[in-house]
């Protein structure tokens, strides 16, 4: 019997693609087999954690005195319900006499690596494991990746980080869900999640800012010169002055004589600005851009990107947090570019390309690429044909990525700007103007730009020049409330507070907007809290929803990845904080059932049978 390598992909579609590359043409029950390889798939998450009552029956009854629940997450792993049959097929293949080694071909990232490792752990694997790390699902990229497999040891710290994140969220979820339910709710179970609770709190805080906002007006003074220049009254730093009342603005305007109002040029700053195209897309950047432009949710954008990667095979690995490429790719990106030389992409690039074979080094930085490089079109020679089969939504997302990618080969945008400061009657006035003299990379989005030049009044302005003020205007401005978070800004907020990773952000938002009792509602692309979500945040103590909570936790996870903090040390610190938070005294108890139905809360004393614990 000839020994073979068992390749375990993340999903069936990926397994089918890999099977073709590895010439595994014999399809069997749950796998493909060839002369040297057996290819199967993990079907996503197969393992999870037991509920506490599964680990210890005494925990079935929820009691405060049992908290904190303290037992090893590693010993509480289980095969998820409905996945047992598939797991047994995998276990049989892993144990099979033909299998002499395993190739981890799951999603190349922190979460994907953990999913695979847990399968090997539950199956009791003792066979050597190699790791496939592919940047795209094209035949060429996969063939290259299979020819240069990695050792497990290279990913030891990534695995420790993934385990720590998973165990931390399990420990916090099972303890704080019980604590909040017992201390704060008369009826329903209150689920707790480190990421979702922090994000919900930030959205509630913004809603409170909006509710507390007091409409009003501010005023500014603008001098209109005879030559058409308009300048705002400014402070010595050049910032426009704002007046809180109309009478204040009128009082200062009244200081200027009715006749012979003259301004003298006090300072002139002229410069030429050369601007590179924006950095490439990371997944959160893409989700933000697509959300603003097309109102797609982060979850929808991720699903489309995943389809372009797995099924269409025209996109690099999508779950990336980097906006850069690795330096070795400077030698290969011309291949990716060649695949995009068709239709509107070819036309757009032809007018602004710096030169044949040119690539700007600015976009290549090894230090700023962790798991995966930025999103770029794959090296797929069939791209033009595949592009014709894309849905409208797939084209919208892919177009955005391609145009951003083309920018790294394009000319810089050149602008000419002038900032002129005037003095008049003892006050400063400032005016600025810019003109796009060379559109450069902007030709990608605007193939027919207008030819621009600085107006002569700005280009020729010199210190000491006199200009007559034709009129002094009082400008009225309305104060606007803080903007509500929407599908285009939510991932920016999550990145700021390090809530989740590119692989988990969309799922966190999905948890808040779905389920039997959603915390958020999505209306016209904007996020609103539900009565249940608002009441929930009201009873959660500050340490459990602090906006800095996720930032602090992610910093510790980063330390584990770097090797400066041990996983066990982090878990120990976590339990110390847990014990402190169990003694918080300012818990509020409420009835949640009516709020969960979108109604006003019932009076104290209303009871409903507690629902089962949900992790």
pLDDT digits (tens, 9 = 90+) for 169-224: 999 999 999 999 999 999 999 999 999 999 999 999 999 999 999 999 999 999 99
The candidate with the shortest Cα–Cα distance to 611, out of 191, 63, 52, is: 191
State the maximum Cα–Cα separation within the chain, in Å, rounded to a whole number.
104
pLDDT band at 24 (very low <50, low <70, confident <90, very high): very high
Q: How many CA atoms lie within 13 A of 566 on its CB side?
A: 3
Amino acid 600: pLDDT: 52
The candidate with the shortest Cα–Cα distance to 52, out of 25, 73, 22, 28, is: 73
Amino acid 608: pLDDT: 39
Cis peptide before 565 (omega within 30 of 0): no
Question: Span 585-598, mean pLDDT?
Answer: 84
Buried b (16+ CB within 10 A) or exposed e, 463-501: eeeebebeebeeeeeeeeeeebbbbbbbbebbbebbbbb
Q: Kindly list the distances between the CA atom of residue 158 and the CA atoms of 20, 117, 299, 563, in Å, as whole numbers in the listed order.
A: 30, 11, 25, 10
Give dist(CA 435, CA 53) in Å, integer.
Answer: 68
pLDDT reading at 603 higher than 80: no
Q: What confidence tens digit (pLDDT) does each residue in 407-442 have?
A: 999 999 999 999 999 999 999 999 999 999 999 999
Taking all residues of the chain, what is their mean pLDDT, rounded to a whole number? 92
Q: Kindly list the distances between the CA atom of residue 316 and the CA atoms of 5, 27, 139, 171, 380, in Å, as whole numbers in the listed order.
A: 25, 27, 13, 35, 10
Give dist(CA 176, CA 164) in Å, integer.
Answer: 18
Question: Span 50-62, mean pLDDT?
Answer: 94
Give dist(CA 52, CA 54) in Å, integer.
Answer: 5
Q: Is 434 exposed, middle or buried (0-12, 13-18, 19+ CB in 10 A)?
A: middle
Give dist(CA 11, CA 33) in Å, integer.
Answer: 16
pLDDT band at 594 (very low <50, low <70, confident <90, very high): confident
Q: Kindly list the distances between the CA atom of residue 177 and the CA atoms of 193, 411, 512, in Å, as whole numbers in the listed order.
A: 8, 55, 15
Return the beta strands (E) in 403-501 as ranges.
Answer: 413-424, 427-438, 466-478
Return the SS3 of 171.
Answer: helix
Question: Span 82-110, mean pLDDT?
Answer: 94
Please list, in sequence order, all residues whose beta carbon lies within 8 angstroms of the beta carbon of residue 502, skipping any fewer than 6 positions away: 282, 283, 284, 319, 320, 321
Q: What confidence tens digit (pLDDT) does each residue in 437-453 have?
A: 999 999 998 877 777 89
Structural domains for the chain: 4-46+83-148 (3.40.50.140), 161-212+484-596 (1.10.460.10), 217-276+412-478 (2.70.20.10), 283-409 (1.10.290.10)
Give dist(CA 217, CA 233) in Å, integer.
Answer: 17
The candidate with the shortest Cα–Cα distance to 289, out of 508, 445, 518, 110, is: 445
Reading the block at residue 239, the tokens are 């910032």
Name the DSSP letter for residue 49: E
Amino acid 107: pLDDT: 86
Q: What confidence tens digit (pLDDT) does each residue in 255-279 have?
A: 998 777 899 999 999 999 999 999 9
Please list, in sequence order, all residues whose beta carbon lies within 8 angstroms of the beta carbon of residue 451, skipping any fewer than 6 positions away: none
Are 210 and 484 spatial neighbours (Cβ–Cβ below 8 Å)? Answer: yes
Reading the block at residue 506, the tokens are 């969309």
Q: What confidence tens digit (pLDDT) does each residue in 225-253 have?
A: 988 899 999 998 889 999 999 999 999 99
pLDDT reading at 601 higher than 80: no
DSSP one-letter string for 190-237: ----HHHHHHHHHHHHHHHHHHH----EEEEEEEEETTS-EEEEE-TT
Are 305 and 313 spatial neighbours (Cβ–Cβ below 8 Å)? Answer: no
Q: Which residue blocks in 63-138 are alpha helix, DSSP H?
A: 84-95, 110-123
Amino acid 430: pLDDT: 97
Amino acid 57: pLDDT: 93
- Enclosing H/E stretch for 573: helix 567-581
The candidate with the shortest Cα–Cα distance to 102, out of 88, 83, 117, is: 117
Expressed in angstroms, the distance from the first to the final Cα of the chain is: 45
pLDDT reading at 597 higher than 70: yes
| Ramachandran class of 357: left when φ > 0, alpha when ψ lies in -120 to 50, beta otherwise | left
pLDDT band at 39 (very low <50, low <70, confident <90, very high): very high
Q: Any idea how long the chain is?
A: 615
Are 123 and 151 spatial neighbours (Cβ–Cβ below 8 Å)? Answer: no
Buried b (16+ CB within 10 A) or exposed e, 81-100: eebeebbeebbebbeeeebe
Tell me the torsion sign for CA atoms 276, 282, 283, 285: negative
Amino acid 312: pLDDT: 96
- Enclosing H/E stretch for 288: helix 283-294
Give dist(CA 592, CA 536) in Å, integer.
Answer: 8
Question: Span 31-44, mean pLDDT?
Answer: 94
Measured CA angle at 131 (ends 130, 137), to 5 deg: 135
- Enclosing H/E stretch for 47: strand 47-49
pLDDT band at 466 (very low <50, low <70, confident <90, very high): very high
């Amino acid at each position: 019997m000839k020994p073979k390598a068992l390749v375990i992909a993340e999903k069936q579609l990926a397994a089918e693609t890999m099977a073709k590359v590895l010439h595994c043409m014999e399809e069997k029950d749950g796998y493909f087999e060839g002369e040297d390889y057996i290819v199967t798939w993990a079907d996503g998450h197969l393992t999870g954690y037991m509920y506490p009552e599964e680990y210890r029956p005494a925990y079935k009854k929820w009691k405060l005195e049992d908290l904190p629940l303290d037992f090893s997450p590693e010993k509480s792993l289980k095969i998820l319900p409905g996945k047992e049959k598939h797991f047994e097929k995998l276990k049989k293949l892993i144990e099979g006499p033909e299998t002499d080694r395993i190739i981890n071909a799951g999603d190349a990232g922190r979460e994907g690596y953990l999913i695979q490792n847990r399968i090997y752990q539950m199956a009791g694997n003792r066979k050597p494991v190699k790791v496939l790390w592919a940047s795209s699902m094209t035949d060429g990229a996969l063939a290259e990746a299979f020819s240069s497999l990695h050792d497990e040891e290279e990913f030891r710290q990534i695995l420790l980080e993934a385990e720590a994140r998973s165990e931390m969220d399990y420990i916090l979820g099972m303890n704080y869900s019980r604590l909040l339910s017992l201390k704060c709710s008369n009826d329903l179970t209150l689920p707790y999640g480190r990421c979702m609770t922090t994000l919900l709190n930030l959205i509630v805080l913004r809603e409170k800012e909006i509710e507390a906002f007091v409409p009003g007006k501010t005023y500014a003074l603008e001098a209109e010169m005879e030559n058409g220049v308009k300048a705002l009254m400014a402070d010595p730093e050049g910032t426009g002055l704002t007046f809180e009342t109309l009478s204040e603005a009128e009082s200062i305007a009244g200081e200027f004589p009715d006749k012979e109002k003259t301004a003298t040029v006090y300072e002139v700053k002229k410069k030429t600005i050369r601007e590179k195209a924006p950095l490439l897309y990371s997944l959160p950047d893409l989700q933000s851009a697509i959300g603003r432009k097309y109102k797609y949710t982060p979850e929808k954008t991720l699903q489309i990107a995943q389809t372009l990667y797995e099924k269409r095979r025209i996109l690099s690995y999508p779950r990336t947090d980097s906006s850069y490429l690795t330096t070795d790719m400077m030698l290969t990106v011309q291949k990716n570019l060649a695949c995009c030389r068709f239709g509107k992409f070819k036309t757009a690039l032809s007018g602004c390309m710096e030169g044949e074979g040119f690539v700007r080094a600015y976009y290549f930085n090894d230090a700023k690429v962790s798991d995966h490089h930025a999103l770029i079109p794959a090296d797929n020679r069939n791209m033009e044909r595949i592009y014709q089969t894309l849905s409208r939504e797939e084209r919208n997302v892919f177009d955005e990525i391609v145009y951003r990618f083309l920018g790294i080969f394009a000319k810089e945008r050149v602008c000419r700007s002038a900032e002129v400061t005037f003095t008049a009657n003892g006050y400063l006035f400032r005016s600025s103007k810019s003109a796009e003299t060379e559109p450069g990379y902007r030709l990608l989005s605007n193939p027919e730009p207008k030819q621009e030049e600085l107006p002569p009044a700005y280009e020729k302005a010199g210190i000491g020049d006199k200009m007559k003020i034709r009129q002094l205007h009082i400008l009225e401005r309305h104060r606007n409330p803080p903007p509500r978070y929407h599908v285009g800004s939510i991932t920016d907020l999550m990145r700021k507070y390090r809530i989740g990773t590119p692989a988990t952000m969309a799922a966190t938002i999905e948890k808040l907007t779905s389920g039997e009792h959603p915390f958020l509602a999505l209306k016209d692309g904007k996020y609103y809290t539900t009565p249940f979500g608002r009441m929930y945040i009201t009873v959660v103590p500050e340490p459990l929803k602090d906006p800095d909570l996720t930032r602090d936790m992610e910093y510790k996870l980063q330390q584990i990845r770097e090797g400066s903090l041990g996983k066990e040390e982090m878990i120990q610190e976590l339990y110390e904080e847990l014990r402190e938070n169990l003694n918080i005294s300012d818990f509020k108890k409420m009835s949640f059932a009516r709020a969960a139905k979108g109604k006003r809360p019932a009076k104290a004393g209303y009871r409903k049978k507690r629902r089962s614990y949900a992790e």
